[in-house]
Amino acid sequence: MINKVLIANRGEIAVRILRALRDMGIASVAVYSEADRAARHVRLADEAYCIGPPPSAQSYLNMDAILSTAKACGAQAVHPGYGFLSENAHFAERCEKEGILFVGPPADAIRAMGEKTRARQLMAEAGVPVVPGTLAPLDSPEAAEAAAETTGYPVMLKAAAGGGGKGMRLVERRAQIASAFRDASSEALKAFGDGSVYLERAVVRPRHIEMQILADGHGNCIYLGERECSIQRRHQKVVEEAPSPLVTPAMRASMGEVAVRAARAVGYRSAGTIEFLVDQSGEFFFMEMNTRLQVEHAVTEMVTGIDLVREQIHIAEGEPLSLRQEDVEIRGWAMECRIYAEDPQRNFLPCPGTIHAVRLPEGPNVRVDSAAFTRGEISMFYDPMVAKVITWGSDRDACAATMNRALMEFQIVGTHTNRDFLLAIVNHPDFKAGALDTGFIPRHFSGVSMPVSSPAAAADIAAAIYAYESSRKQPCTAPPQAAPSAWRRAMMGDR
Amino acid sequence: MINKVLIANRGEIAVRILRALRDMGIASVAVYSEADRAARHVRLADEAYCIGPPPSAQSYLNMDAILSTAKACGAQAVHPGYGFLSENAHFAERCEKEGILFVGPPADAIRAMGEKTRARQLMAEAGVPVVPGTLAPLDSPEAAEAAAETTGYPVMLKAAAGGGGKGMRLVERRAQIASAFRDASSEALKAFGDGSVYLERAVVRPRHIEMQILADGHGNCIYLGERECSIQRRHQKVVEEAPSPLVTPAMRASMGEVAVRAARAVGYRSAGTIEFLVDQSGEFFFMEMNTRLQVEHAVTEMVTGIDLVREQIHIAEGEPLSLRQEDVEIRGWAMECRIYAEDPQRNFLPCPGTIHAVRLPEGPNVRVDSAAFTRGEISMFYDPMVAKVITWGSDRDACAATMNRALMEFQIVGTHTNRDFLLAIVNHPDFKAGALDTGFIPRHFSGVSMPVSSPAAAADIAAAIYAYESSRKQPCTAPPQAAPSAWRRAMMGDR
Amino acid sequence: MRFWIIRDERQIPVELEERPEGYTAVLDGVTYEVGCARILDGLYSLLMEGESYEVAVHSHEPGSYDVHMYDGVRHVDLLSPLDLVLRSQHGGPGTRGGSVRAPMPGKVVKVLVEEGQSVLKGQGLVVVEAMKMQNELQATADAVVQHVRVREGDSVESGAELVTFGGAQEGD
Amino acid sequence: MRFWIIRDERQIPVELEERPEGYTAVLDGVTYEVGCARILDGLYSLLMEGESYEVAVHSHEPGSYDVHMYDGVRHVDLLSPLDLVLRSQHGGPGTRGGSVRAPMPGKVVKVLVEEGQSVLKGQGLVVVEAMKMQNELQATADAVVQHVRVREGDSVESGAELVTFGGAQEGD
C-alpha cells in the first residue's frame, strides 16, 4: 500500500493530483522551485520541499534533487503529472532503480512510443491503422499512380528529403497525378538537390480524436472512450470534449479496440492515450501515444465517473483494474477550456505577471482545476496555462451552454487571458454544430488579431467611476516606502 | 416559451436558479431588499430591482412589490426558490391571476399539502402509508392492548389533549401496556384535566428519507430516487446524501411508487418531495410533502444528472416531461453539507457580520452553491445558511472522502461557521458506517459544546507572526477616518 | 520579539526572530525553523520541518486570534509585551469587566432582570433575536445586576454592553 | 467631474456626479442614472435602468483601464482633466515616444538591428523569449534606429525600453 506520494510537477496538475491523494488518504509531498514558494501546490500539500532555482532544468527536471527528496521524506512513489519528466524513460528507470514506484508506464513502453517513427512501425505491425502510403520513394509517375490506387484519393506527394511545404502536392484525382509527380519532383530537386518523392493518403480537414486507455500489470486493458481535441492553435489544444460529435458507438468500440491493441503491443501499464488523425468520414489513423496523464483527462472523468489519478495510483500499487470494459459507461457530455495567460489581441503573446484578482466559476456542472490565485505570480519560467474550466451537460448543447456560463463567471484581473477568445469559440456556429477539424481556429479566427468586445456604456462609466474614486484616495493609502537599507543609505551618502 | 424569469428569492438558491436560467438562455431578473444591494444574486442577474426594506415581510414576502416588478420588467414567470413565498398558495393564485407563470405546483396542491392533518388524511385515503395508530382515544387498557396488536410493538401512548412529553409512554412489549396505559392516563389527567390517551406505532431511531418527484401538466409523474436527511440539529437538516445507505433498489421502487401516488392524489405539477419517516428495518411512513425545490436538491442532481430547475421551467412552460421513469439512473453517491454562519462553540449562535475572506473548494467532484463572498455581509435579517458544499463519488466512501477534502479547503474568515462541526460529522465512525437516524447529532455531539480542534504549534506560531507583522505596520495604513459630517461637527462644537 | 500565549491558565512564551525566508520560533522552549510566505494580509504558507500549512489568521479584538487551518480553526489568545503591561495594570487574565455583551447584532426581545437584582450563574438575563432565532444570554457567575443598558425592542450591535454587574462576575 | 474617453481618434466626454446610491453619468451627451455598489477595490455592481453589470476595473498604467465584464473585457482609454493638460503639453494623442518596449518580462534571444539602421514598418527588431515561446517585436512604422538598449542574453522587465528611434515612430 502506498501511503506517501511525491508529485514531481507544479501548477494545476500538481493541485489536481494532490486532491486525488487527499481523497485516497495518501500523504502528499510537493516539490517546488524557488519561483514557486507561494504556489498553490505547495500550500495544499502535506509536505513541501524546494528542489532548485526557477529554471525547469534546475528544478522540475532535476532528477537527482527529486529522487533524493523522495527518499529523504519516505515517499514510496512519484507521480510525474504531464510535461516535465512524465515521458522520460530514463527517469522511470532511475525511480525503479531507487526502489521508488513511478506512477506511469514501464520505461520500455515510454521509449517505444517516444521514438515516433519506430512507434509508427510497431503500430503498423500490430495491426493498428497508420496513414497509408509508400514511405519509400517512387521512381515514376506510373509508380505514383499505382500507389495511389492502393491508398485511395486524395493523396499527398511529399519530397523524401524535404519539409516546409516544398515539393508537396495535394492530388485529388487520378488525372492529375502524373503532372503533379513531375512538378513535385522537380521542385524537390531544386530545393533539396534530391528529387525523390513519396506518397501518402491525404487526410482533408482532419480531426484530432484520442482514446483514453487504462492498463494494469495483470494483462487487463480497457478503453474509457474518446476525446475530441480538434480545436487547436499552433498544435496546442485549446478546447476539448468527450465524447466526440463525430464518433458513433460502433466507431467508439472499433477505435477503443485498436487503442487497446496499441497499448498491449508495447506492454503498456497505467493511464495512456492513443491519438488518432480522423477524416470526416470517421476513418482513423494512429498518430502517436501519450504515455502519461493528459491535460484534458478531466472530460473523460466527467462523463465516465472514473477518477483517472486514483486508477493510476491503484495500478502503480500493483492492483488489478477494478473495472471491466462493460462497466465503462458514457453519461452526457463534457468540455474543457484551457485558460492561458496570453493576449489574443497581440498574437497570443504570453503574459507573465502578477494576478490582481481571480474569480472562479461555481455552481452546477462546473469543475475548475486551477493554480491561479489572487496576488499569485504567473511565472515567465513555465507554461502559461493557469487553469482549466470543465463543464458537464446531459447533452452537447447543455454542456456548451454551461461552458459559456462558466467562462462568463471566470475572471482573471491584472493580466491578459484567452477567456474572451474561448467564449468566441464556444459560441461559434460551427462549434455549436460540431463541425470541427484542426483547421477550425485558423479558418474562423485570423490567428493574429481576435475580435474585440464592442464598447459598452457600462464599461466606459465603470472606468470613469474607478478613475474618479482613485483620484479621491488619500495619498497616505499608497503602499509605504520600504525604509532604505543601511547599504543603500551609505550609497546615498545618508541624505 | 419563457424568455425572462423573475427570481423571488435571495442567497445561494437565487444564484443557483440564475445559473440554470443562463444555461437555458433565459434572461434573469433579481429582486432584492435594501440590505442585499451588493448580494451575489443581484450581481449575477441580467436585471435587478429593489423591492423594499430589509425585513422579509417588507421585501421577499412583499407580493405586491414582486408582482408589480415582474409585470413592469416583462417577466413571464416567477421562480420562488425555497422558503419565503414558495409554499404560499395565495401567491401562486395571485401570479395566475396576473397572468404570470408560477414555477411550482398549482395553488390547490400547495394548499392540500400545507394543512398537515388534512394531508395525512388525504394520503391515508390514497393508500399512502402513514404511521399506524388509533387517533381516536382508547377507553381501557384492553382497548389499548387490542390496538397495539394491530399496529405492532413498540407503540407510543400519547395524551390526546397534550404535548411536551406529558402523558406519553413508550411501550416495548405487551406485558407492559396495561400499567403504562394507567400511568399515562393519570398523568394526562393531572397535566391537562383530561385523561384521554391514544396510541401510535413508535418509530425507534427513525430515519428521515425523502423521495424527489417530477410531475408535468400532462399526467406524467416520475420519481428520481431518495435522499437521506437524518443528520439534523433541532429539526434543521445539516448533512444530506443520495442515495440512502438503507435503501435497496426494491425499497426505492416501492417508495418511489408511493411518492408518485401521493403526488397524483393532490394533482401535483413541478418538482416536489415526499418526506418519509423510516424505521431501521426500512418500513416507511408519510410525514409531509414539500411542494417546492428543496435545499438539498443538488444531491439528486449529482447522482441522476438531471437539472431540477431546468425541469421545473420546462414543466411551467407546459412541456411534457422529457424523461420516462426508465431513463432515471442513479450513478455513484452524492452528499451535501450546509455551511451555516453560526458558532458551534456557543450553542450554535447565529453569527451575522462581515465576511473578511472566503475560500471555496475546487477540483474534481466538488460543487459549491454559495452566496458568500469576500467582504460580503451576512445579514441578521435572513437565514444563516451561506453556502452548500456538494460532493460526488463513485461510491459512498469515495464521496465522503471528497467531502472531507472539500470541507478542508472551504474557509470563511471573519465570522464563525459550522465547518469544523461538519468535518466532525463526516469523519464520525457511525456516519462512515451509514448508521444514521435523526438522533445522530444529539447522541454523538452534546448539542451544546462542540469538540475544539487541539492546539497546534503551527497555529500558535502563525498567530504570533500575524501579531508581529501587525505591530510593525505603519499607523498610516490604518483605514482613514471618515471626515466628520457637518452635523457631527456641529454636535462636537466644531473642535 | 516575544509574545505570550494564554492557554489553560498558563502563559506560554513564544519568541520570533526574523530570518531570510521566515522565522526562527521558540514556542514553550521548543525551537522551530519556520519558512513563511505571506500570500495576502493574514494568509500565510508555513513550512515547518517539511510540513506544509496554509493558515489564515484573523483578529476580532486585540489579543484574540482565529487561526484557520485545513483541519480546523484554532483560537489563540496571544499577548504582546505591551498587552502584558496593560493587563497587569488592569487586572489578572480572564477578567473582562463585569458585563454581558451582545454576542451578535440583533434585536432585544426580552429583558429578564432588573437593576439591583441578584442573579445566579446560568440565569437568563436578556433574550436577543437574530436570523429568526432567539438566544437567551445567561449569567456566567453569581452576581448583582448594576445597570441594564437596553430595553425590549432595542437593536444592538455585536459587543454592545447589555447588563453590567456590581458583584464578582467573571468574564465569559 | 469630467473625463474624456479616447476612442477611434475621438474624445468622448463623460461627466460624473455623485448621488446617494451611485452616480448620474452623462456619456457622449446621453444621461444615465447609475446605481453603484463598491464590492472591493475596483469591483463594482452597477445598475443602469434595471440592467445589472458586475465590473472589475484594473489599470496597468495611467489613463488605460481594463474593464472586465461577464461577456468580455473592454479596454478603455480615459483621461482626467489633469491628464489632458499634460498630454497637450507633451504631444497629441497616440504618440508614446519613439521606442519599442518589452511587452512582457523575458530574455532577449536575438537583436536584429543596429544603431543608425533604417527599418521598415513590420521589420523584426528584437526577439524576446518567455514561457517557452519566442516573440519577434516589430517596428510599427518606418524609422531610423537611434539606440539599441539591450544585448542578446539580457533579462528584461515588462515595459523595458529595447530600441529607440530617431525618426517618426508611431506608438503601438
| Low-confidence winner among A294-298, B202-206, B258-262 (lowest mean pLDDT) | B202-206
CB–CB contact C32 B457 (8 Å): yes
Is residue B478 predicted with pLDDT exceeding 60?
Answer: no
State the nearest Cα–Cα gap between B105 and chain C, in angstroms.
27
Q: Report d(CA C125, CA C162) in Å as an integer.
A: 9
Q: CB B46 to CB D52 under 8 A?
A: yes
> CB–CB of B46 and D54 under 8 A?
no
Q: Give chain A positions within 8 Å (CB) of B305.
A: 331-332, 392, 394
What is the pLDDT averaged over residues A391-395?
Answer: 98
Residue in chain C closest to B417 (alpha carbons) equals: C73
Task: Give partners of B (≥3 CB pairs < 8 A).
Answer: A, C, D
User: Which of B217-221, B471-475, C45-49 is the least confident region?
Assistant: B471-475
Alpha helix positions (H), C93-136: none
Is A213 strand, coil or helix?
strand
DSSP string, A405-454: HHHHH-EEESS--SHHHHHHHHTSHHHHTT---TTHHHHHS-SSSPPPPP
User: Which tens digit of pLDDT belongs to each residue from C71-106?
Assistant: 999 999 999 877 776 665 544 333 344 788 887 788
Question: Which residue among B38, B46, B373 sits closest to D51, beta carbon to beta carbon?
Answer: B46
* Residue of higher predicted confidence among A389 and B134: A389
Chain D contacts of A462, Cβ < 8 Å?
Answer: 44, 46, 53, 55, 57, 67
Cβ pair D14, D26 in contact under 8 A: yes
- Residue range D49-65, pLDDT digits in tens: 999 999 999 998 889 99
- pLDDT at residue D91, rounded to an integer: 42
Residues of A in contact with B394 (CB under 8 A): 305-307
- The pTM assigned to this predicted structure is 0.86
Mutate to test the interface with B, among A405, A423, A469 (most CBs of B within 10 A): A405
**Which pLDDT belongs to residue A379?**
92
> Grid coordinates standing for B30?
433579481
Q: Is the pLDDT of residue C134 over 90?
A: no
Q: Is C71 on the interface with B (CB under 8 A)?
A: yes
Cβ-Cβ contacts under 8 Å, B11 against chain C? none
Q: Which residues of A touch D158 (CB under 8 A)?
A: 352-353
The per-residue pLDDT for A200 is: 86
Q: Does C10 touch chain B (CB under 8 A)?
A: no
Cα C158 to Cα B352: distance, rounded to the nearest angstrom: 9
- Point out the residues of B that are catalytic: 292
**Pick the residue with more confidence: B367 or C172?**
B367
Instruction: Please give the pLDDT value at position A234.
Output: 86
- In Å, how far is D130's CA from the nearest CA of chain A? 5
Tell me, what's the pLDDT at B135? 65
Confidence of residue B163 (pLDDT cuts 50, 70, 90): low
pLDDT tens digit sequence for A404-451: 999 999 999 999 999 999 999 999 999 999 999 999 999 999 755 677
Residue of D nearest to B38 (CA): D37
**Band (B137; pLDDT cuts 50, 70, 90):** confident
Q: Check B350 against C68: CB less than 8 A apart.
A: no
Q: Assess whether pLDDT exceeds 60 at residue D97.
A: no
**pLDDT at A116 exceeding the cut of 90:** no
How far does chain B reach from its first CA to its final CA, in angstroms?
65
C-alpha cell at A278: 480522423
Arithmetic mean of pLDDT over chain C: 85
**Nearest-CA residue of chain A relative to C51?**
A47
What is the mean pLDDT of the segment spanning A482-494? Answer: 36
Q: So what's the pLDDT on residue A245?
A: 98
User: What's the pLDDT at D116?
Assistant: 87
Does C39 reach chain A within 8 Å, measured CB to CB?
yes
Per-residue pLDDT of B282-299, as tens digits, reads: 999 999 999 999 999 999
Interface test with A, best of C21, C46, C47 (most A CBs within 10 A): C47
**DSSP class of A345:** G
Say which range, A233-237, B45-49, B55-59, has the weakest mean pLDDT. Answer: A233-237
Assigned C-alpha cell, B178:
396495561
Contact yes or no, C with D (3+ CB pairs under 8 Å): no
Do residue A375 and residue C39 have CB atoms under 8 angstroms apart?
yes
- A56-90 pLDDT, tens digit per residue, is 999 999 999 999 999 999 999 999 999 999 999 99
Chosen from C11, C68, C78, C109 to mutate, greatest number of chain B CBs within 10 A? C68
* CB pair distance less than 8 Å for C70 and B408: yes
Give D-chain residues touching B373 at CB under 8 angstroms: 39
Active site amino acids of A? 292
> Pick from B349, B408, B461: which is nearest to C71 by CB?
B408
pLDDT value, residue B30: 98
* Closest alpha carbon within chain C to B472: C1
Phi, psi of B348, deg, nearest 5: 60, 35
Mean pLDDT of chain B: 92
- Is residue C122 predicted with pLDDT exceeding 90? no
The predicted pLDDT at position C86 comes to 64
Phi and psi torsions of C109, nearest 5°: -105, -20
Average of per-residue pLDDT across A483-492: 36
d(CA B256, CA B211): 6
pLDDT at B224 over 80: yes
Count of pairs with CB atoms under 8 A, one residue in B, one in C: 136
| Cα separation, B210 vs B199, whole angstroms | 25
pLDDT above 80 for C29:
yes
Q: How confident is the model at residue B381 (pLDDT cuts 50, 70, 90)?
A: very high
Per-residue pLDDT at D96 exceeds 60:
no
Q: What is the pLDDT of residue D139?
A: 81
pLDDT at D85: 67
In this structure, of A133-147, B33-47, C154-168, the range with the lowest mean pLDDT score is C154-168
